[in-house]
Structure 1
Amino acid sequence: MENSNWLLTDDGQLRQFGIADMEPPQKVYRIYHFLTDLDNVLEKFQDDISRIEAIVPLVRKLLISSYWLQLEYDPPSPKTGWAVKFLYREYQYPLTVQMVTWQPGTPSTIHNHGTWGIVALLGGQERNRFWHRAADPDSPHRIESSGELLLNPGDVIGFTSDAIHAIESMGDETTVSFNLYGVTDRDRRYKFHPEHQTAEKF
């Protein structure tokens, strides 16, 4: 099965982009190289889509060069069903790099991120369900379903700031992913309750 690069936009539209298959770099691409290249991308591009399309190849380059990253995660918490291990975060630095695990069968809330994000699946299977805003005067946080996608190891998906989704770990294997996010705008990050057509800050 071929791996894919996916992009989910604010309007709930999903599309493929770029070339997913890459040869390992001749020189080891270390995380400090990666962070330097990210700085350059953030300076060059100001919009979510351009940033995601420029950064995804760098994520792939890092993951196929630095295999140790695939072991840098914590098992899911029995209490929450998930775990986050930060690989890099720095005060006032505009990026967060982390490894995330989900226990099989564990669903997330329906949410946006209030920033752009990139998720590269390394292990297990993850179902993403997508929504888009469909506000009306009586229900400003009304959303409608816009599809779903099953991610397999090697797939990478990017989200624009107001892209709305929920995930669920499928099968019998813990999902492991490499996640990268920009600076979250807390005033724009929500979890949604479509059954009540409401949302709350997240």
Structure 2
Amino acid sequence: MVNRDRLVMDDGQCVEVEAVESDRQWVRPYRLYRFLTDLEDLLIGVEDNPTRLHLIRPLVRQLLNSSEWLHYNFLPPDTATGWSVLMLYNEPEFPITIQTVVWSPDRVSPIHNHGTWGVVAMLSGQEKNTFWRRSPTADHPDRIEWVGEELLTPGDILCLMPDAIHQVEAIGTEPTISFNLYGETDFQRRFEFDRDRHTAKNF
């Protein structure tokens, strides 16, 4: 399996970055609590989001390679919505959220950003991400335009800047499962976009 890493900038440009493995050798499994400690140390010492994401990616890959339970710790997709979210970690006063997210085949998410940096690591299935950027006009200040798309497969990691706008679609006949990590959300910057009505609303 070839691991591919990508970074989505605030303007919707998706660039491929080197897939870096952790250079640390662990005698014991790299458990979730160790990951969180390393993540906290990193976030305290680094404030630049692209640099943070560059340093977080190998930690995420090390965690997924060492913690097989994460690959099977998810909820079946809801029959009504076609998706599910299982919260693995969300502690008050600590700006980190960790989830596993499942999408049923052919389900499509709203167009949205996250209002924070994010890391999505594919565990199974295929997921098409479509990227957008703001393209305001005098009449439509929340207008967006299509930038591009990427197909994610197991082993791929997608990093998102806080204002990166994307849409997720599960491709194929099996549900997609991903490990999602997010920083502290600025809810005033988190939007769901309607490309046809040229509107955006907080969610």
Q: Partner residue of 1:27?
A: 28
Shift of 1:194: 1.1
Aligned equivalents of 2:7, 2:165: Cα separation in 1: 12
Aligned equivalents of 1:44, 1:175: Cα separation in 2: 34
Q: Partner residue of 2:6?
A: 6
Aligned equivalents of 1:99, 1:11: Cα separation in 2: 26
Change (3 A) 1:22 1:51: closer
Q: Partner residue of 1:40?
A: 41
Shift of 1:19: 2.4
Q: Partner residue of 2:197?
A: 196
Q: Percent identity?
A: 48
TM-score normalised by L of structure 1: 0.96
TM-score normalised by L of structure 2: 0.95
Q: Partner residue of 1:67?
A: 68
Shift of 1:25: 4.5
Change (3 A) 1:22 1:170: farther
Q: Partner residue of 2:135?
A: 134
Query: Is contact 1:18-1:53 (8 Å) kept?
Result: no
Aligned structure 1 segments of 4 or more residues deviating by more than 2 angstroms: 18-27
Secondary structure class of the residue paired with 1:12: coil
Q: Partner residue of 1:176?
A: 177
Query: Is contact 1:100-1:179 (8 Å) kept?
Result: yes
Q: Partner residue of 2:81?
A: 80
Aligned equivalents of 2:74, 2:20: Cα separation in 1: 24
Once the two structures are superposed, what CA deviation does each residue of 1:83-105 show, in whole Å capped at 9, x if it has no partner? 11111111121000111101111
Q: Number of residues paired by the alignment?
A: 202
Aligned equivalents of 1:20, 1:122: Cα separation in 2: 17
Shift of 1:125: 0.3
Aligned equivalents of 1:154, 1:20: Cα separation in 2: 12
- Give the counterpart letter for 1:50 in structure 2: T
Aligned equivalents of 1:125, 1:25: Cα separation in 2: 30
Secondary structure class of the residue paired with 1:37: helix
CA RMSD of aligned residues (A): 1.5
Aligned equivalents of 1:95, 1:117: Cα separation in 2: 10
| Aligned 1:102-121 pairs, distance under 5 A | 102-121=103-122
Query: Is contact 1:115-1:160 (8 Å) kept?
Result: yes
- Give the counterpart letter for 2:50 in structure 1: I
Once the two structures are superposed, what CA deviation does each residue of 1:35-72 show, in whole Å capped at 9, x if it has no partner? 00000111111122111111011000000011111111
Q: Partner residue of 1:96?
A: 97
Query: Is contact 2:90-2:98 (8 Å) kept?
Result: yes
- Give the counterpart letter for 1:18 in structure 2: E
- Structure 1 gap ranges (5+): none
Query: Is contact 2:21-2:58 (8 Å) kept?
Result: no
Aligned equivalents of 1:120, 1:37: Cα separation in 2: 18
Q: Partner residue of 2:155?
A: 154
Aligned equivalents of 2:74, 2:193: Cα separation in 1: 28
